[in-house]
Amino acid sequence: MIQSNNPLAQFSEHAAKIVEGTAGSVVAVHGGRWSSSGVHWRSGIIVTAEEVLERDDEIALTLPGGRRAAATLVGRDPTTDVAALRFQPDGMAVAQTADLGSLRTGHIVLSVGSHDGAPSASLGLVAVAGGAWQSRRGGTIDNLVHLDIALPTRAEGGALVDAHGRVLGMMVSGPRRRVLAIPAATIDRALDQLLAKGYVGRGYLGAGLQHIRGRHGNGATSSDPRGVLVVSVDPDGPAARAGLLVGDIVTAWDAQPLARVREVMKLLGPESVGRTVDLALLRGGAPATLKLVIGERPVR
């Protein structure tokens, strides 16, 4: 006999209702060797994980209930792991999204994916909740959320759902198979650019850079200059227009010291395009400065 006052049974029933409510806006995405999941983020637009979408064409979806539908790629942004697909929704529900900034370590969350049209779900905890961070490819992610949750390949790209049934982001597999969430705010920002241009623009210097290695091969010594060495310059790029030369050592960016190329890459996010920055240099051993207007990385 089921007892209506059983807290565990009540929790179980609530979780099942959340999954059922979310599953109406989650699809299976067939764009690689294995299917993954996607979320109906805006009317006619599916958001999925860029890293598991292996094809740019002949992409198919399995909608809730099992109906198949064709989809076309709008664009992809590897830096935030967001890809957007366009399809004919025919009345399919759009996900109810919300900001995940209220998530705290220890909160219970659900992953909702699609297994060929049938809902799949995992239950877990927020293991780490923090502020903004940058991906290995230089994308700005609005919140750091690590999850203690199972994420099968078929569920990657699916919905991160809170205890109120709101979709707070997209589930992806991070480094060392750590499960991460791409927040709704990050997805919306990337999606705006993908819908407008088909890609997410990033800053471009038009210069090849490398670390300065010390005389003993393990980084700079106390007497070595610190900065990044210019090893090539695109003759039609922003660096050339600003007067940057091969052999220059860039030591600071807007008065902030530079030591590694990775630091420069982090400064070349989408918001950097069109900005003017002050670069401090060593040229032939003598200090110099120049102003550089950051361009937009060419689409290849």
Q: Please, are residues 163 and 108 in contact by the beta-carbon 8 Å criterion?
A: yes
pLDDT, tens digit, for every residue of 218-271?
Answer: 444 455 678 999 999 999 999 999 999 999 999 999 999 998 898 898 888 888
Q: Tokens standing for 82?
A: 């967001």
The band of 300, judged by pLDDT with boundaries at 50, 70 and 90, is low
Residue 135 is predicted with a pLDDT of 86
Residue 3 confidence (pLDDT): 57
- Reported pTM: 0.82
Q: Structure tokens of 61?
A: 């979806």
Question: How confident is the model over 117-168, as pLDDT tens digits?
Answer: 999 999 999 999 999 998 877 788 999 999 999 999 999 999 999 999 999 9
Query: pLDDT-derived band of residue 16, with 50, 70 and 90 as boundaries?
Result: very high
**Which tokens belong to 45?**
């637009």
Mean per-residue pLDDT for 57-86? 96
Query: Would you put residue 172 in left (φ > 0), alpha (ψ -120 to 50) or beta?
Result: beta
pLDDT of residue 299: 73
HSE-up of 194 (CA within 13 Å, CB side)?
27
pLDDT at 87 over 50: yes
Q: Give the alpha-carbon dihedral of 122, 126, 130, 131, to 10 degrees.
A: 30
Q: State percent of the chain over pLDDT 90.
A: 78
Coarse DSSP helix, strand, coil percentages of the chain, rounded to the nearest 5 percent: 20, 40, 40
Closest CA to 159 of 198, 187, 138, 133: 187
- Domains, the chain, in order of start with CATH, read 7-197 (2.40.10.120), 203-296 (2.30.42.10)
Phi, then psi, of 10 in degrees rounded to 5 = -65, -45
Residue type at position 2? I
Distance CA 190, CA 161 (A): 20
By percentage, how much of the chain surpasses pLDDT 70? 94
* Confidence (pLDDT) at 213: 65
